Amino acid sequence: MNVAAVVRGIASLSWIAVILVIGLAVMRAARGQPFRRAIGWVITALLVAVLTTTASAGLVFLQPEERGVVISAVAPLGYRESALQPGLQWIVPFAETVATYSIARQTYTMSIAPLEGSVAGDDSVAARTADGQEVVIDASVIYSVDPNKIINVHIQWKNRFETDLVRPQARGIIRDEASRFRVDEIVSERRGELTEDIRQKLLSKLSDNGLILVDFVLRNIQFSPEYAASVEQKQIAEQLALQAVFVVQQRQQEAEQARQVAQGQADAAVIAAEGRAKARVIEAQAEAEALNLIADALRNNPDLITFEYIQKLAPGIQVMLVPSNNPYLLPLPSLTGETETVSPPVEVVP
């Protein structure tokens, strides 16, 4: 509970009571009623009002995120050298006043959007790069008042540190640091370096003036329409180049795939030919072995071929006639190895 606020409320009610008592006394006097008791009420109400007003003027309650600078008419320097800490504090009534400062984090935003920044309208930072290109930068500065330097901040800036210190320092440092980089460096690999350089410079400036830099955020970088168009054309060209490389790689993959398929088919054909050749060799070897076996059998049994010949004739044939002008039916091997001839029969016996 804020005791100082309660005391101030009581003091206000006391003065209202004084006014009411005085009004009541005047009304009683106008009616001819005794005025002696009304005077006592007025004096009592007036004393209570003065005491509560004095107490409220001497009590100060500070929130946890607040610090107070005491401006004093009785101090040699005109202010107390130590800042008031959070909680209920006592000052000399009517001789001292307190200027309250928040040490909570604050954000100052410079943006091109009219309703986004701390300043109405376009508050972005226009800067020139090392190669003469114009860029528009949106940024935010997150800072707080150093609780150990509250009195110096009050003496040097009072409540003007945001508009008179943070804003001009941030804008000036952003322009100075951006001028050290080319525009293509800002948009690519050196953007982080730019942000860090600005942060370090701003950290030093704010620290010298009693503020703590919490963070610097480089929110957006906008380019001129001409440069944006050139960047877009460059990106389109790069995309086309990448697409061409992709197409070449795809064609190379297709060619390699076709080569592998052809190689596979050739290998399959070779394997099939080798298989057929091996089969024929095996078949020829089998036939040669079979002929060798037949030759061996004929050498051991010469009449075997005659027997096989007879076996091949139709079973119903008993006599065969041949023309008379054909003297031989078939040369048959004799038992002695000489060829015998069969004379043609003259008649047919059924």
Q: Is the pLDDT of residue 72 over 60?
A: yes
Q: Is the pLDDT of residue 328 over 90?
A: no
Q: Read off the pLDDT of each residue in 109-131 and give the average, rounded to a whole number.
A: 84
Site of tokens 């071929």? 305
> In the structure encoding, which two tokens stand for residue 70, read together?
């005491």
Residue 251: its pLDDT value, please? 84
* Rounded Cα gap, residues 167 and 170, in angstroms: 5
* Rounded Cα gap, residues 15 and 21, in angstroms: 10
Residue 248: its pLDDT value, please? 85
Sketch out the chain's domains with CATH numbers: 3-102 (no CATH), 106-223 (3.30.479.30), 304-340 (no CATH)
Site of tokens 């943070």? 166
CA 15 to chain centre: 64
Residues 6 or more apart whose Cβ sits within 8 Å of residue 211? 143, 144, 145, 146, 153, 161, 165, 166
- The neighbour count for residue 322, using CB atoms within 10 Å, is 14
Q: Is the pLDDT of residue 164 over 80?
A: yes
Q: Read off the pLDDT of each residue in 90-99 and give the average, rounded to a whole number.
A: 90
Instruction: Provide, for the chain, the percentages of residues in helix, strand and coil under a 3-state DSSP scheme, each rounded to the nearest 5.
Output: 55, 20, 30
Residues 6 or more apart whose Cβ sits within 8 Å of residue 14? 45, 48, 49, 52, 53
Give the mean pLDDT of the chain.
80
> In the structure encoding, which two tokens stand for residue 343, read together?
């004379």
* Rounded Cα gap, residues 143 and 219, in angstroms: 16
SS (H, E, C) 159-178: CCHHHHHHHHHHHHHHHHHH
Query: pLDDT tens digits for 6-27?
Result: 877 887 887 887 788 777 777 7
User: What are the DSSP E strand ranges found in the chain?
Assistant: 59-62, 66-72, 87-90, 96-102, 106-110, 125-128, 134-145, 211-223, 332-333, 339-340
- The neighbour count for residue 299, using CB atoms within 10 Å, is 9
* Rounded Cα gap, residues 321 and 344, in angstroms: 7
Residues 6 or more apart whose Cβ sits within 8 Å of residue 337? 302
Q: Is the pLDDT of residue 303 over 50?
A: yes
Q: How far is CA 89 from CA 18, 37, 46, 69, 348, in A?
A: 28, 39, 26, 12, 160
Closest CA to 150 of 95, 97, 98: 98
* Rounded Cα gap, residues 123 and 166, in angstroms: 13
Q: Is the pLDDT of residue 331 over 80?
A: no
**Which of 51-60, 104-113, 249-258, 337-346 has the least mean pLDDT?**
337-346
